[in-house]
Amino acid sequence: MAVDRERVAALVRELLEAIGEDPDRPGLRLTPGRVADAYTEFFAGVGEDAAAPLARTISVARGPAPETRPSGAVMLRDIRFRSICEHHLLPFRGHAHIAYLPGEQVVGLGALPKLVDILASRPQVQERLGEQIADVIASSLDTRGVLVVLDASHECVTMRSGQQADVSTVTIAARGELAEPFARAELMALLGANRG
């Protein structure tokens, strides 16, 4: 389902009037269209199949490098993401860290950031976003375990009353063998290793 750009623009114009502004003044005249363009981008993941980027897998045993079968986790750190909080329609942004224990099938490394982008491009809450990422990976790939750690800054906290400009929120979602804290301890340590 595509964003109804014209309807968003009309509603933004109405919102400007509702807060006592003149949507026809020079500084605001183009704002409804600009917001509609931004929302088209911000909510591009609504209705998209989040599992689609994971559909093309690579056989470890029969793939291009069968001698390099991973014995441990595959981890991607610092996948940048941005989303819109569904409670206040304010942005939150941060980094996703994803690890999985592969079975016979792995996925190209570029697929995981695409998955994050699709799920983040919807009205979201951080806790659900992490759980959705973990669920899609666990159900789409041959994994023994999945770990998703999200570290994000929320403008509803950093810009509203009681501002906390430097606060971030960390959430963890885990599946399979990585659901046990002791099993994911090494991966959690790697997330903090070699940081600037």
Please give the domain boundaries of the chain with CATH numbers for all domains.
5-41 (1.10.286.10), 53-192 (3.30.1130.10)
Question: Has residue 196 got a pLDDT over 60?
Answer: no
Residue 188 region by backbone torsions, left for phi larger than 0, else alpha for psi between -120 and 50, else beta: alpha
pLDDT of the residue at 70: 65
Tokens coding 1: 């389902």
pLDDT of the residue at 72: 81
On whether the CB atoms of residues 94 and 155 are closer than 8 A, the answer is no
Q: Is 87 annotated as a binding residue?
A: no
Q: DSSP string spanning 103-135?
A: -SEEE-TTHHHHHHHHHHSSEE-HHHHHHHHHH
pLDDT of the residue at 25: 97
> What CA–CA distance (Å, rounded) separates 119 from 9?
24
| Share of residues in the chain with pLDDT > 90 (%) | 70
> How sure is the predictor about 59, in pLDDT bands with cuts at 50, 70 and 90?
confident
State mean pLDDT over 154-177.
86
Tokens coding 113: 């950031």
Question: Has residue 30 got a pLDDT over 80?
Answer: yes
pTM of the complete model = 0.90
Mean pLDDT over all residues of the chain?
91
- Give residue-wise pLDDT tens across range 63-109: 566 566 666 889 999 999 999 999 999 999 999 999 999 988 888 89
More confident residue, 155 or 7: 7
